Amino acid sequence: MPTPDRTSLDEIVAAARELLELGDLTMQAVAERVGVQAPSLYKRVRSRDELVRMVADATLAELGLIEGDIYAVASAFRAFAHQRPAAFRLVMGGGVTASPHAIVAASQPILRAAGALAGAQNELVAARTFTAWANGFIAMELNSGFNLAGPVDDAWQYGLDRLVAAISAS
């Protein structure tokens, strides 16, 4: 097995992100994935909690790369949630405190998109409104919470259109 010096922190976090989606985020599973003994991980990561925070930061960094208008940001946010549901739940479900830097960086796309609609004076409140709506909608979607007939995509578009109209009217 490689020594810990041959296993980078980036490789450890990447393995942890993969294992999170599989529901197997343990130090033992991460060690096996990167090819070291579990105790060796503690030379790079102090605890599982620290590793989970690193996973949250990496997830937020990915979300921070989203660019575009509110429709593009919403589409990418939703697509990410469907591709990486456990990571989405980790960062949007509470309970894990990511670093302030990661939170600020991940917020930039929605702040820009919301600000373009609502103006600089309402940028933050508009971004929070959008994020709360999108997070709630997506959480219900991921948890099979829409039980009535009809296309969920239509409901997403309807809600997004109404939210854009409301925010633009501010």
| C-alpha separations of 169 from 48, 114, 126 in Å | 46, 12, 11
Q: Is residue 55 part of a domain?
A: no
Domain check: are 78 and 8 in the same one?
Answer: no
Q: Is residue 114 part of a domain?
A: yes
Burial class (CB in 10 A: 0-12, 13-18, 19+), 149: exposed
Q: Is residue 57 part of a domain?
A: no
Higher pLDDT, 151 or 1: 151
**pLDDT tops 80 at residue 4:** no
Query: What is d(CA 95, CA 27) in angstroms, rounded to the nearest whole number?
Result: 19
Domain check: are 124 and 162 in the same one?
Answer: yes
Number of separate domains in the chain: 2
Report pLDDT for 12.
96
Q: Is residue 150 part of a domain?
A: yes
Domain check: are 94 and 151 in the same one?
Answer: yes
pLDDT single digits (tens) 92-109: 987 777 889 999 999 999
Whole-number mean pLDDT of the chain? 92
Report pLDDT for 93.
87
Higher pLDDT, 1 or 146: 146
Domain check: are 31 and 82 in the same one?
Answer: no
Is the CB of residue 98 less than 8 Å from the CB of residue 57? yes
Report pLDDT for 126.
96
**pLDDT tops 90 at residue 81:** yes
Residue span of the structural domain in which 148 resides:
64-168
Which sign does the torsion angle of CA 131, 135, 137, 141 carry? positive
